[in-house]
Chains A and B, each alone.
Chain A
């Protein structure tokens, strides 16, 4: 009895002695998330995915023998605060910054990563302009780009010979950005955009928009909207007004909340996703996440999970937390995560800093109210 107490005491002393030693050696990774603003619905699960990934990496011994320490900051969905938070993370010694907030926030935080030469990545933002608006060699993007989303949808639809399409989106920043790239994707494929509609945040009806779509009589309706409530509103009008053309939707329709909030309306809706539930990696991820965090994850968690693993992989290959070395290692990434189609690897082509494989997205359908299996992979000739 006495010995066990002594051992316990000794263990405590050791633990106390070891903790600061370990704390000194952690690798600090900053996460800029949105806990209160408009990006919260996405930022929250993605951040949980990052946390789970970090926990898993640490359980396996960390990176370069050091534990990962996440520094999570809330930018409230405000671009100027996002930049301030990026500075805070740099000052706190973050070796890398993951941005999972609003697209304009990620854009503005780049001012800081460029000025301080700190590697920064967004594992989830999908606006095509993030890596092109300013030339920032310290910034990467592995979210599935809008242009890839539309190309994948078009490739799936290719055999159906669509000539005329209607495009519907919302007035959020990302929704309008996606609509821009969806439109240029459609036009490049020789499909005429006969009707372009927009549903404002907070609208109480989308009947006028769907009437216009019905009157334009397109072969297909494409949704680039990213506001779930407004998308559901659109879907309700689409069903109410008896629209018959197929509905192809952005990756927003891949979040499982649709199955409860749009129950009974989803059958046949086609959406693009970066998540193939049949992949063994996904199955392992889902089981591991549930065990560790006590809840079922979904695709958004996966973006964060892959994000932190990509960072860990780059630091491992860099062999140090030197920012320049991490930068070179990141650009040389060749990594298979859990997201994307079978066998997809994240790579940054020469001169580009967008790492989601154009052929890595999948197309899925709602079967009844369930998200069905993958029916198509990649962009083909688009």
Chain B
């Protein structure tokens, strides 16, 4: 083994410089050309940065579209899911509470209409999206809180819905932060 030790050490040093140093530096340089310049793409409102396009935020007020529940309370200094198993009794209790809370704030919605994503925690705890269904179900509440006609809100959701890739692959999504910014800017 002695014969191989010195070559191993020398080769390691060179590879650490190449793969650990030059490779990410080159990418950081290339990223300057990309949206967000490699720092993450931000969302602006009234001239101020109000968040990152990719990172979900907590919305608890009735006048905003709510994001999905989060196991890390949308603290993006970390990330993670609940890791609760399908029939863990504690978990099912939490889901029941979320259902009850949702029904109190959305009296026009029947329980059987609530999409599961609004009462289950996302994987990252930072899910920036809702499915269109989960956005439409909140329209009645927001229309009441803001005094905006429901049709206008539905149009807003439709405008902010991103179709699957090429219209065929994946899921349709609505970015909650961008939707809420558009909501605040609605005149």
Pairing of A with B: no
Residues of B within 8 A of A (CB): none
Residues of A within 8 A of B (CB): none
